[in-house]
Structure formats: structure tokens, C-alpha cells
Structure 1
Amino acid sequence: MTQLALTQLKLSHFRSHKASEINCDARPVAIFGPNGAGKTNILEAVSLFSPGRGIRRASAQDMTRRPEALGWKLNGLLKTSEGLQEVETWSDGGAARQVKINDKSAPQTKLGSLCRVIWLIPAMDRLWIEGAEGRRRFLDRTALSFFPDHAEAALTYEKTMRERNRLLKEQIRDAHWYKALEDQMAKCAAKIHVNRQATLAQLREAQTQTTTAFPVASLGLIQADGDSPESEDAFRDAFAESRSRDLMAGRTLVGPHRSDLSASYTAKDVPAADCSTGEQKALLISLILANARALADGVGTPPILLLDEVAAHLDADRRAALYDELIALKAQAWMTGTEDHLFDALGDRAQYLTVTENDGVSALA
């Protein structure tokens, strides 16, 4: 099995890091230091070696170091199945971020096939009890790890739907204005639906094929208005049939943007939303590990994992079990914590990085 690893990371004017450099091997990276020192900023930088806006979903402008606001730059050396890859991504003065791979300009989507990155951050702890949008985002991010073209389908769908919604708000009733948009939406919607269902199938399989210290989650995809279309033709018909209802609402009321991810604690047959805070966290960790195992089996390479403050919410036995599973996966996991003792169970199986802060500038040791 080929191991994916980020072996060098340089940060320039990125968040609290004015000029930082990390050189490491493929073992897990344990990062500790006080709150506000810049630990999560390192994880955010690593997340930008995959498509999208990173773990914080921030704009390129928000990532630049203040007060200089010169823009930011990240350089990385990736160990992949195709050899070492030099990746550079940056933003000048708040402009959309750009990417170069081995000195050649590339679209962000190219990163999806080159480097798969999955994460668990504290903001996701309320995933099961808040709105469906966050769960769709979680599912689509997971789908992207299996299907690198999923992002393009989702972005095209959203862009086309915004155009359709504009027509609806303007009360345009001529069917000819809608047909081309709905054809494009139907094509993308079918692909999104198929990818999501395939993703759930792979997560289910990965959960049942191993012994883990974390609970198994029963997963499903539900539609807000009942039965959901699945094929391209079915979506096209659904958009046309819903047009009069959508005109009244001023927005599109049917489609994959209305789906929701359902989950329950299998052993207890309890919906995730009704589980304790600790159980909800354990279910999330279980799904992240299942995602990693499925990628290792299906793609042949485990992803890079970003686990922000994950150890603080686990007792000593669960922490040790998590570390053992990460080592067994042969995954490079970047983890943060406020205290070094949280990583004691890793021993020399990991490498350690201390982050401090002085006058708003992060420093590494």
C-alpha cells in the first residue's frame, strides 16, 4: 500500500504564521501548544492541499496575515503513489487562490485526485443536531474523497440552480427559459445522487469489515419532501413538475440540495441526534476512520487526516485506541492538542511539534 504524506510544508504570511517551515516523515504529526498559538492554522494550511476552501471554509482574503494583508503562500512536498509532487497554492491581495503542481498551473480540482484530505474539527461536533446543510456538506466532502469529480458536479449544480432561482424570483413563466437550465441541473443532480449513495455504501462496508473501539453508525439519505428522483430523466421531470410550486416559493424546492444525511447508533438503535455528546463525537470519529479505511482499500492509499483537538474529548483508553487505528491505517494524521500528555500513547510512533505565539506571530519548535 502506498502511503500519502506531506513531508514539507512552508507557510508565508498565512494567518498567524509569518514564515514557518515544517519538515516531517509519514508518521502522525502531534501538534501542541496553548490556545491561540496557531495550531489549527497549520491544519487549515494542510487542508488547502485539497480542493475547496479548507477546514474553516474561509475566503482567501480571510487567510492572509494581518495587518500586512499582502496575500499568502503555501508550498508543500507531497509523497504520492506517483512520486514526489511539489504543490504551491497562494492568493495575492485577497484574490481567488491559485495552484501550481510541479511548477505548472493547475485547477483546484486536480488536487482532488492528487491528495485526499479528510478532517474532523470542533465545529463539526454539532453535526447531528443542527441543520441539514452541514450534514450535506459533510457527505459531499466525503464523496469528494472517493470521486474527485464530485466537486465539479456540485459546483455546476449550485451555479445553475442560482440562475433558475433568479428566473423564479422574477416570476418568469416561459418554459423555454428553464429547459436548458433544468437539463444541466438534472445531469449534475443525478451524478451527485449516485456519488452520495455510493459513498454511503462504502462507509457501511468499511464499518462492518473491521473491529473498532468506536461505534458503528447506520447511515441513510433522506429527502425533505419524501421520495427523491434518482435518474437524470427523473430529476428533469421533477424540476418541470415543481416549477409552479417553485414560482410561488421563489426558489427550487426539489433536488439534491434538499437531501439530508441520517445516522443512528447501530448497537443502541438510537438516532445520532438523541445520543449523548460523547456518543455523537464517537460516531463522527467512527465515520472518519471508516472513510480512511475505505479509501485505503479502494484507492490503495489512505488519506491525510486532520484531527483538531480530537484527543481532548476522549478518555485515555479511547485515545489509545484511536492512535492504534491510525497507525494500523498507515495514515499521516495531523493532530492538535493543548497539552503534550494527550499524545503519550503514541510514543515514538509519531513526531511532535510545539507551537507558541509572541506578539501575534506563531513560532514552531
Structure 2
Amino acid sequence: MALDRISLSGYRNHIDTAIKGTRAVNLLVGANGAGKTNVLEALSLFAPGRGMRRAALADMARHDGGGGFAIGADLTAAHIGEGEPVRLGTYTEPARPGRRRVRINGAEKSAVALGEWLAVGWLTPAMDGLFTGPAQDRRRYLDRLALALDPDHASRANRYEAALRERNRLLSDDRELDPVWLDAIEAQLAEHGAALSRGRAALIDAMMAEIVIQPEAPFPRPALSYAPGGPEGFEALSQALHDGRRRDRAAQRTLTGPHRDDLEVLYAAKRMPAAACSTGEQKALLLAMTLAHAALAAKGRASLLLLDEVAAHLDPDRRIALFDRLRSGGAQVWMTGTEIAPFEAIAGEAAVWEVRGGAASPR
């Protein structure tokens, strides 16, 4: 197990929900709108970032509550060696609903510190358009996966974005460019950009190494490749930024660098871009990628895998294969569904909660 004694207070439609007695596989069953996905979203906030819905913090607080929310959970000793569980908590205060705070064993920490204790991954119906949507969505996806494996990835991405905003500000200023100041900003941009590119490329290499050792059926095997938005090394990126100043000034934005990266995915057996595959094939490819990443994240650390409404969309053979992979994957798994039937093959070994009206009770 990874988490137990989970509490949600004033979160979405949950007034005061407590979940105890978790197992390696956990099922949340209930009608649409009962609050199942809200539990998954709350768990996703044990990772740095904005959670699996990327919602505003103020929108996560219960509408008729006090304006803030609190989420807590114990990281069990099974993942941290001998000793007492580590208590993780994240919350907002009514006076500052847009500021998320984090406590670990009662001590104030940054949200990035959560990534040092726990890796969190998820798959939701909202991700179905990943292959056909804008490149920005795939970059965000890459960075989320990289962060689950390497908590330092967040600081590299943040530093790059800060330097990019400053260069873009200078480019859009009507005043004459200061070459000395621009040199300094571009040096930062190239340094952090090269580090960001290395992290994304390393993630894809690691995922492909995991993907190729998995059977090709019943889930199709994806082939992933990194499509850089510019030169990847420090020297080459620095030179490209320098050489592109006139063009970028005309565009009033930086036109090369990792902020233009993309993730390319093929259905390997068909040599077909994922974007051109059927909806069912795209779902299966994305699930194969999710399972590969979950296996990587679970190596040597506590990890969660959150799967929202995933079983209902699989045929029986793929459903059985999914449950087999989850049993051996090493992550604590949380799945949602409107009924127990799709989970019959795994329900006997899972902890099951009935979610109704923003409350969860053991089933």
C-alpha cells in the first residue's frame, strides 16, 4: 500500500470523508456525480502541480463551505522502512483560497517536496484527445510524467518558463534591445532549456525501455519519440537564440526552444501516427503508456496510479490483462466505476467503497 487514513474536508462535494483500510487495489463505485472522481482529484494533489483536472484552487473548495479545503493521508511504513507513517497534507485557507499549502509530518513544505515522497500518475477520460490536441497538452503531459520520476524536473521547467517570459518581454518592448541584458537572459534560457530537454528525452527513453519488455497484446505497443522544438544542447540553443533575435523581435516572441517541443506517438505494429488511429486504438495506446510509466514510477518508491472510468471502456480480454498488469505493477491503484460488474475479476482482492452524495463507505 501507499496511502491510508485518507481524509477530505470541505473538498468539492465532500464535507468530511474518511477512507481507511486501503489495499493495493482500491475501487470507488457510485453513480455519476456522487464524488468518485473528486476523490481521485484529491489524491492527485499529493503531487506537485494543479492536479488531474488542472482546476483553480478556489473551485476545489466546497461551495457551501468555509472557502478552504484540507486533504490528508498517511504514507504507510511499508514504503518508507521502519517507523511511523509519514502524514501528508495539503490545504487552502478561506482567507487565501488561491494559495495551496503543504505539510509533511506537520512541518510546512513546498508542494515540490511532495514529489520526494510519492509518485502520482493518472489516466482520465479528459485525456482522450491527447494525440489530436495541441502540442502544449503533450508537453504538459511529458512534464507531469517526468516530474513523477524526478522531482527536480519542476524547478527546471519553472526556471525555463521564467527566463522565457523575460526574453519575450524584452522582444515585445518598443525600446531598443540591450544586447548585454539579452545575452544574460539567453544564457539562462539556454541553460535551463538544455536541462529541460534532457529530462524530457530521458523520460521517453526510459518509457520505451519499459514498453518494449511488455507483451504486444492485448494492448497495442506505442513507439514514442521526442520532437525537440530547437537545438537541445546549451551551446547550440544559445547560438540559435542569438541568431534568431531579429526574427523573434518581429514575432515578439521566442520561436525556438523546448517550449515548442512535441511528443510523437506511433502505433508501432501499424506504423501509424496515434492521431490517425481509431478512438479505441488511441485509448489503448494511452493506457499502454500509462502502465509503462506507472511501472517506472513504482521502482524504489511509493506511487499511486489513478484510473478514472477506465474498465468500462475495455473489452473483457483487455480488462483481465489490465488487472494482471496492475497486480504486478507495484503502484497503489485507485479506480472508479458506476458499478462493480466490470471489476468482478479483481473485486475480491480490492478494497471497495460506495460513494454517494460526497461520502464514501466500505462496501
Aligned counterpart for 2:114 among listed residues 111, 125, 139: 111
Match of 2:271 in 1: 269
Runs of 4 or more, structure 1, over 6 Å off, are none
After TM superposition, list the pairs within 5 Å mapping 1:103-252 onto structure 2.
103-172=106-175, 173-211=177-215, 213-224=218-229, 228-252=230-254
Deviations 1:202-254, CA, capped at 9 Å, x for gaps: 11110111325311111111145xxx312122222222111111111111111
Q: Which runs of 5+ in 2 are unaligned?
A: none
The offset of 1:170, in angstroms, is 1.2
SS of the aligned residue for 1:97 comes to strand
Supply the distance in 2 between the matched residues of 1:91 and 1:163 (Cα, whole angstroms): 30
The offset of 1:82, in angstroms, is 4.5
State the AA in 2 paired with 1:57.
R
Q: Report how many residues are paired.
A: 353
SS of the aligned residue for 1:54 comes to coil
After TM superposition, list the pairs within 5 Å mapping 1:272-351 onto structure 2.
272-296=274-298, 299-301=299-301, 303-351=303-351
Supply the distance in 1 between the matched residues of 2:168 and 2:330 (Cα, whole angstroms): 46
Match of 1:21 in 2: 18
Check the 8 A contact 1:304/1:331 in 2, yes or no: yes
State the AA in 2 paired with 1:208.
V
State the AA in 2 paired with 1:218.
A
State the AA in 1 paired with 2:4.
T
Match of 1:81 in 2: 80
Supply the distance in 1 between the matched residues of 2:172 and 2:238 (Cα, whole angstroms): 20
Supply the distance in 2 between the matched residues of 1:145 and 1:110 (Cα, whole angstroms): 12
The offset of 1:274, in angstroms, is 0.7
How does the TM-score come out when normalised to structure 1? 0.93
Supply the distance in 1 between the matched residues of 2:249 and 2:307 (Cα, whole angstroms): 44
State the AA in 1 paired with 2:104.
I
Match of 2:52 in 1: 55
SS of the aligned residue for 2:138 comes to helix
Check the 8 A contact 2:130/2:137 in 1, yes or no: yes
Check the 8 A contact 2:2/2:302 in 1, yes or no: no
Check the 8 A contact 1:293/1:302 in 2, yes or no: no
The offset of 1:174, in angstroms, is 1.7
Check the 8 A contact 1:221/1:261 in 2, yes or no: yes
Supply the distance in 2 between the matched residues of 1:356 and 1:308 (Cα, whole angstroms): 16
SS of the aligned residue for 1:349 comes to coil
Check the 8 A contact 1:302/1:331 in 2, yes or no: yes
Moved more, 144-153 or 179-188: 179-188
How does the TM-score come out when normalised to structure 2? 0.94
Supply the distance in 1 between the matched residues of 2:347 and 2:22 (Cα, whole angstroms): 15
CA 1:26–1:185 in structure 2 vs 1: closer, same or farther (change >3 Å)? farther
Supply the distance in 2 between the matched residues of 1:58 and 1:184 (Cα, whole angstroms): 30
The offset of 1:263, in angstroms, is 0.3
Q: Percent identity?
A: 43
Aligned counterpart for 1:41 among listed residues 25, 38, 41: 38
The offset of 1:302, in angstroms, is 6.0
Cα RMSD, aligned residues only: 1.4
The offset of 1:301, in angstroms, is 3.4
Supply the distance in 2 between the matched residues of 1:47 and 1:57 (Cα, whole angstroms): 10
State the AA in 2 paired with 1:326.
L
State the AA in 2 paired with 1:171.
D
State the AA in 1 paired with 2:102.
V
Supply the distance in 2 between the matched residues of 1:302 and 1:204 (Cα, whole angstroms): 22
The answer to whether structure 1 residue 353 and structure 2 residue 353 are counterparts is yes
